[in-house]
Amino acid sequence: MHFNESRLSALERRYKARLINSLSGFKSANLVGTVSAEGITNLAMVSSVFHLGANPPLVGMIIRPHSVTRDTLENIETTGVYTLNQVSASFWKQAHQTSARYDAETSEFYATGLGEQFREGITAPFVEESALSYALKVAEMTTLAVNDTVMVIGEITDIFVEDIAVMEDGYIDIETLDTVAVSGLDAYHVTQRLGRLAYAKPDLPTRCLGDDE
């Protein structure tokens, strides 16, 4: 099946959104926790969180400024801090429900029943049900000229994770935590590990690591 430029541009709007959203591959599922100047908490589902670098520890995400996530963006601008909370199989439906267009006075914590958790020294709220969550301070916010979406880059200040998932070499086994992956606009998946692979070298065959050998 081949979609070329003219066929792509002729597609019905929703069909095209589902198609293009499927192309990047599996996506991360995270809830962004923020709080407004008035103290109203907010929770928003994002599938665009991506690793940017370990030194300093940075992640990026894309936010649409005129959509349901506008409150998130405003809260981040105002307070400079936010949390990211990995979504797991035990609360994927509640996580998805946060994407409904609640009014600015309604906290998505309240609306979906997810647990609101505050931790010492961190203004933004965490999701109690999440087995891996972290706090960030804003490092950069840029409006992308190509389509007016906003890229938010955050520096990680605090990580909270269940002990059992942190391997000896630093790798976090997020599959053990039942972290879900997203495809397209609305599909959620659990995973089965094929294996971990050793650092690749030109003169060596591909080799599995540890338990996967």
> Which is closer to its own copies, CB of 37 or CB of 210?
210
Least Å distance between CB 38 and its own copies? Answer: 20
CB of 115 to its own copies, least distance (A): 17
Separation of alpha carbons 87 and 95, rounded Å? 7
Q: Give the nearest distance from C-beta 35 to its own copies in angstroms.
A: 20
Q: Who contacts 25 (Cβ-Cβ below 8 Å, separation ≥6)?
A: 183
Whole-number Cα distances in Å, 40 to 35, 74, 103: 5, 12, 11
- Smaller CB separation from its own copies, 80 or 184: 184
End-to-end CA distance of the chain: 38
Count of Cβ atoms closer than 10 Å to residue 154 Cβ: 27
Residue nearer to its own copies on the CB measure, 37 or 192 = 192
The smaller minimum CB distance to its own copies, of residues 37 and 212, is found at: 212
Number of other residues whose CB lies within 10 A of the CB of residue 21: 16
Reference 74, options 50, 95, 96, 44; nearest CA is 44
| Minimum distance, C-beta of residue 139 to its own copies, in the bound complex (Å) | 5
